[in-house]
Structure 1
């Protein structure tokens, strides 16, 4: 079983994450979008069946469910804001994963690279998201529920 499987919750509100302001600015998020996400504490359930994975996100009133396969560019899906996105996830060993995500925001494709690392005894994840076009980064942690 993958170390990423299970239910996870953010350790801090999104607005408290290292690099949040610069990252959201470089992503082209509006002031309303930024204010909406500042107080979010997200929950994520990761279901693993070989190379077929599922993420079930819960951001309070915003929920989404995504199915994808490892090591391929997956078909277009919709994010919680209704934007089209394509994810290319790759395991880099048992405790590290990289997700390249291309998102269509305001008619422009934006690329982010998310690195997830299982740390310590396996009950925490370090997550770093990089806005590829600018290099802006946002970093936080999740813990297993």
Structure 2
């Protein structure tokens, strides 16, 4: 897989997550056009470094929207499917879930990111960069 393939797959999954938010409360959706390549903890079969594409999506919702209940609804939705779901609180004390498909190494963190904002941070499955591609910059 190329970084472009992994980016496309990760962004498609984030669009599926956005679709779980009741459309009547959505003001806007901002999916970053670019992301970064993040070094993974594991290595490839020959000891090469592997990387993951990561990028954010923000969902602005109407004032007064109970974001925690939306995140908990997403948690229920994904727990009832084939996904692994972990829940905790982010650094701001907001309810957060991590959603991971069982067959690959991608993951998605979903939580409130300030008043009226839901943030989705997505990481692709780890992959090997092509020779000569420096992982710095926007992808």
Instruction: Verify same fold: TM over 0.5.
Output: no
**Which of the pair has the greater relative contact order for Cα pairs under 8 Å at 6+ separation?**
2
Q: Give the number of the structure whose residues are more often strand, by fraction.
A: 1
Q: Give the number of the structure whose residues are more often helix, by fraction.
A: 2
**Structure-2-length-normalised TM-score:** 0.36
